[in-house]
Amino acid sequence: MKTQIDYKSIWKIAYPIILGSVAQNIIALTDTAFLGHLSETALGAAAIATIFYYAVVMLAWGFGLGTQIVIARRFGEGNVKLVGKTFDHALYFLLILGVFLIVFMEIQAPPVLKAIVKSNAIYDASIDYISYRAWGIIFACVNVLFRAFYVGVAKTKIISWSTAFMAFINIFLDYVLIFGEWGFPEMGMKGAAIASVIAEACVLIFFLIYTLRKIPMAEYQLFKFVKIDWNLYARLLKVSFPMMIQNFLSLASWFVFFLMVERMGERQLAISNIIRSIYVLMMVPVWSFAAAANTLVSQVIGEGHSEVVLPLIWRIIRLSFVSVLVLVGFCLINPEWVISVYTDELSLIAETKPVLYVIFGSTLIFPIAVTFFNGVSGTGNTFHAMLIEILVLVCYLGAVYLLIAVFKLPISWVWTSEYFYAGFLGVSSYFYLKYINWKEIHI
């Protein structure tokens, strides 16, 4: 078997993605931290605006994940020339999608948010952010495709380099544009959005230069831009479209979660945004190992070794769990210090701390749940993965509604809904891999 599935090989693929994800989440962390020190309203608006933005961009992210699965399958089969053709066809689609999403964000975001956000201050700050952030979507779409290519062919070191470069630019520009330092204008929320757009444009240039200089273009047949192969598009969309819907619904559900929390008050929304930032950072190893699972499962199936899929997934789960356990242990040493990164208000720190303890437990369930779920996607049956996600999200949002609207429980209890999500996702995905015949799926 060409693809190695021992712990060392899994780690070799996953750790650059982890480093890249750390850098990516440092961007989100610094945005939240800087805006948290700007005002509590800005902190709450950042939650609404960024999740709305990412819910829309998840359509492109889902297409990128589907492309990654197809590229990994062709790579596992040894058909590397089709890798480049797949990349080029995906690029056509993502450029058109990116333009469409920019238009949607500019025209539809204001009326949508006006109808569902209760606080006028939160609404105004959110629109300030989104009106500028939307222009980075086209760069984000192409960056998603480059990430799909490099993860799909298991050359993941570039992911960490590119994202570290992006994080450096974003942190610098956040500081000078949000607060108006070093002669730059003080722009607040708008400054955070502009910083992210410039950072995404810079990392796209980085990807292009690296690819042109380091990748054997003739071997992969990259950037040939041959005549459109509609059969290839049919295969791409068969895999990618369910993932587009699945990822959009996943982020849209979290957006609905924050809208429900916003109606509890600006303080509860600010607490939840701090928790969201910490939570996402602790989930970095989970999503990184899940991306490795996606690629490796698709590759070994392409090589004709379906029997190793479940043992491979269990190895990835062990590595992912240990990584998250280390992060949870670090946060438990001094949770007040972790929260103080986002705010220096003592009452806000005190009210956030119980919620932080709640999410520590759920983060230890997610390595199992997310890895199994990405194993389902890696088999190529993304339609069933989408159905699992929809079923889980219905249960999740039902739990959130009961906790907030019916039982009217405090914010720490509301965040226990993450246990419902992780539990349902893990059990559903495991039963699919264990008992459903997925070994004959062709993509």
Residue 128 has pLDDT above 60, yes or no: yes
Residue pair 252/393 in contact by the 8 Å Cβ criterion:
no
Residue pair 94/17 in contact by the 8 Å Cβ criterion:
no
Pairwise CA distance, residues 349 & 404, whole Å: 22
Quickly count: other Cβ atoms within 10 Å of residue 336's Cβ.
Answer: 12
Which of 176-185, 210-219, 239-248, 390-399 has the highest mean predicted lDDT (pLDDT)?
390-399
Q: Give whole-number Cα distances, 408 to 127, 145, 398, 404, in Å.
A: 29, 43, 14, 5
Give the type of residue at 338. V
Write the CB contacts of 347 (distance below 8 Å, at least 6 apart in sequence). none
Angle between helices 157-179 and 137-152 in degrees, nearest 10? 160
Q: In the numeric block, which tokens belong to residue 154? A: 């298991």
The better pLDDT of the pair 67, 41 is held by 67
Q: What is the mean pLDDT of residues 260-281?
A: 84
> Given this model, what pLDDT does residue 28 score?
63
> Given this model, what pLDDT does residue 440 score?
65
Which of 2-11, 207-216, 226-235, 279-288 has the highest mean predicted lDDT (pLDDT)?
207-216
Residue 26 has pLDDT above 90, yes or no: no
Residue 313 has pLDDT above 60, yes or no: yes
The values of phi and psi at residue 118, to 5°, are -75, -45
Write the CB contacts of 405 (distance below 8 Å, at least 6 apart in sequence). 260
The domain segmentation of the chain, as residue ranges, is 7-435
pLDDT band, residue 37 (cuts 50/70/90): low
Pairwise CA distance, residues 246 & 256, whole Å: 15
Residue 315 has pLDDT above 90, yes or no: yes
**Which of these, 263, 266, 340, 345, lies nearest to 43 by C-alpha position?**
266
pLDDT band, residue 23 (cuts 50/70/90): low
Angle between helices 157-179 and 189-214 in degrees, nearest 10? 150
DSSP state of 6: S
> pTM of the prediction?
0.80
Residue pair 343/274 in contact by the 8 Å Cβ criterion:
yes
